[in-house]
């Protein structure tokens, strides 16, 4: 049996979890409301203090979805209580980031600046301190959306393996390569 799927999701105070007839789990909390559609075979049971996810059979498909939906519901509960944060770092000479509301203006070494519109569900902030790389901070309640936006920003200029220039996650360890060997 799935170890992750067996574990109940505890519901903190101030959070309500409801399941509709169409198997849509709705989680409301102090930071907002999130919804997730659960597969029709997976059974979601809500008590006052916890959410239990069970599967009908031992089929491979049911076993695979059991832990997945338990984790997704757990992410919803954590999102509406604490929220999620992601931090990106711009490494490179002349790389800059500035934001006006939810519109990012990025200078990433191309002949033009990149204008990137962040979804309205997320809050974005940028910092540029002397002697430090420019940083982009993403904050919101939807873990999947934050990860997707951060991955899209990183894909605009991936870190290259020789000097490490590009957009990287804060704390990301890059695999570096040695440059050209000197002539004989």
pLDDT in tens, 22-31: 999 999 999 9
Residue 95: both structure tokens together: 């790389």
> Would you say 77 and 117 are in contact if contact means Cβ atoms under 8 Å apart?
no
Residue 2 has pLDDT above 90, yes or no: no
Q: Cα 167 to the chain's mean position, in Å?
A: 16
> What confidence score (pLDDT) does residue 10 get?
93
Residue 179 has pLDDT above 90, yes or no: no
pLDDT at 103 over 60: yes
Task: State pLDDT tens for residues 3-19.
Answer: 888 899 999 999 999 99
C-alpha distance from residue 8 to each of 40, 50, 66, 67, 155 (Å): 19, 6, 12, 11, 36
Residue 184 has pLDDT above 70, yes or no: no
The answer on 103 and 75 residing in a single domain is no
Q: Both 60 and 133 in a single domain?
A: no
Last residue of a domain, one of 81, 114, 146: 81
Tens of pLDDT, residue by residue over 40-93, are 999 999 999 999 999 999 999 999 899 999 999 999 999 999 999 999 999 999
Element (H, E) at 151: helix 143-155
Per residue in 128-157, pLDDT tens?
999 999 999 999 999 999 999 999 999 999
Considering the domain architecture, whether residues 65 and 41 belong to the same structural domain is answered as yes
- What CATH number did the domain enclosing 74 receive? 3.90.930.12
Among candidate residues 62, 81, 100, the one where a domain is terminated: 81
Domain boundary among 81, 115, 130: 81
Structural domains counted in the chain? 2
């Amino acid at each position: 049996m799935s170890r992750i799927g067996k574990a109940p999701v505890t519901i903190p105070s101030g959070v309500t979890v409801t399941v509709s007839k169409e198997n849509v789990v709705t989680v409301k909390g102090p930071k907002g409301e999130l919804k997730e559609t659960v597969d029709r075979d997976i059974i979601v049971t809500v008590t006052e203090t916890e959410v239990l996810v069970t599967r009908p059979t031992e089929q491979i498909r049911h076993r695979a979805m059991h832990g997945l939906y338990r984790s997704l519901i757990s992410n919803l509960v954590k999102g509406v209580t604490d929220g999620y944060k992601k931090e990106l770092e711009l490494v490179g000479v002349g790389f800059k980031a500035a934001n006006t509301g939810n519109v990012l203006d990025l200078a990433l070494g191309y002949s033009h600046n990149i204008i990137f519109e962040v979804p309205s569900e997320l809050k974005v902030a940028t910092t540029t301190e002397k002697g430090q790389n420019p940083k982009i901070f993403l904050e919101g309640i939807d873990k999947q959306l934050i990860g997707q936006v951060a991955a899209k920003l990183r894909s605009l200029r991936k870190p290259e393996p020789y000097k490490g220039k590009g957009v990287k996650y804060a704390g990301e360890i890059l695999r570096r390569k040695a440059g050209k060997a000197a002539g004989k």
